[in-house]
Amino acid sequence: MERFVDVAPGVRLWAQDHGAPDASPLLLIMGAQASGLGWPDELVELLAARHRVIRYDHRDTGRSTWAFDERPYPLTALAEDAVAVLDAFGVERAHIAGMSLGGMLAQLLVADRPERLLSATVFGTRALSSLPYTAPDGTRVPPDRLPGVAPALLELWSRPVEDRGPEAELERRVEHWRALGGDVLPFDADRTRALERRIIEHTGHHRAGDAHARADYSGMDRTEQLAGTRVPTLVVSALAEPVFPPPHSEHLAQAIRGARLVEIPGMGHALPREVHAPLAAAILEHTARA
């Protein structure tokens, strides 16, 4: 069922749930500038076998309000939006899963709103913690010294994004996902193109958003709260990850008290069909434990 959620004056979010209404709720939190439809239907259906799965469009994505220039916000507001979505669906406590920026927002919820969570799963992200990473040999590495974004992806991001029409934008997105997916699993351009075409139709325009890149990133450190949390947390490790490459996932698991780490072979910073079954299995096993 689809609905719109008012989260601030003049700001509405599109949201949708799948699965049995009385099943344990699972909120999916997407990454920066990504529509909730970025969670593929096939993955949602696998998760909906055991959960009432809720996905939604962040502000300035999809069918939600695009108004950053008129109503700027810090990224922390996007975590508050997630709570508002739970409220709109009448959910007191939920499992959450966050990818990329969504993984950061999930950490904010683990730190700030643990009473609303049953469990958390995070991947494709970095720790909101200043705790050093402890390498297998015992070396302690400050977070800002961990490996950065792959050079090829940085070069792609450095190119200006120009509006050359919907088909050109579609191809730009396909090539972006090709780079994000890493170099292990095969890339299905046709499948990616079909999903992005659907997202453009869902959104109602093909403009490329940049609000989340311009939003205020300050005030997101949660070192102490993550180190002391009791929210059961799963960290998914993706060795082909080009945005937050290893050992970011290991650092994340060290920063969050009691976190478990599981690897999805071949996974990068994307959700191709090859990872749907193992990722769903990992999430469902984790939510069952919680």
Quick: pLDDT tens for 59-72: 999 999 999 999 99
Q: What count of Cα atoms within 13 Å lies in the side-chain half-sphere of residue 34?
A: 24
Does 236 map to a domain? yes
- What is the CATH number for 17? 3.40.50.1820
Burial track 245-267 (b if 16+ CB lie within 10 A, e otherwise): bebbbbbbbbbbeebbebebebb
- State how many domains the chain has: 1
Tell me, yes or no, whether 6 lies in a domain.
Answer: yes
Which residue, 97, 103, 85, 95, is CA-closest to 32? 103
Q: What is this structure's pTM?
A: 0.97
Structural domain containing residue 122: 2-148+210-289
- Contact in structure between 89 and 54 (CB atoms under 8 Å): yes
* Per-residue model confidence as pLDDT tens digits over 7-58: 999 999 999 999 999 999 999 999 999 999 999 999 999 999 999 999 999 9
The pLDDT of residue 42 = 98
Residue 128 lies in a domain: yes
Residue labelled with tokens 């959450």: 96
Q: Map tokens 């990473």 to a residue.
A: 133
Max CA-CA distance within the chain?
A: 52
Q: Alpha-carbon distance 131 to 18, whole Å?
A: 38
For residue 25, what are the contacts with CB-CB under 8 A and spacing of at least 6?
A: 51, 52, 53, 54, 86, 89, 91, 93, 94, 95
Q: How confident is the model at residue 99 (pLDDT cuts 50, 70, 90)?
A: very high
Q: Establish if 216 belongs to a structural domain.
A: yes
Residue 154 included in any domain: no
The answer to whether residue 186 is domain-embedded is no
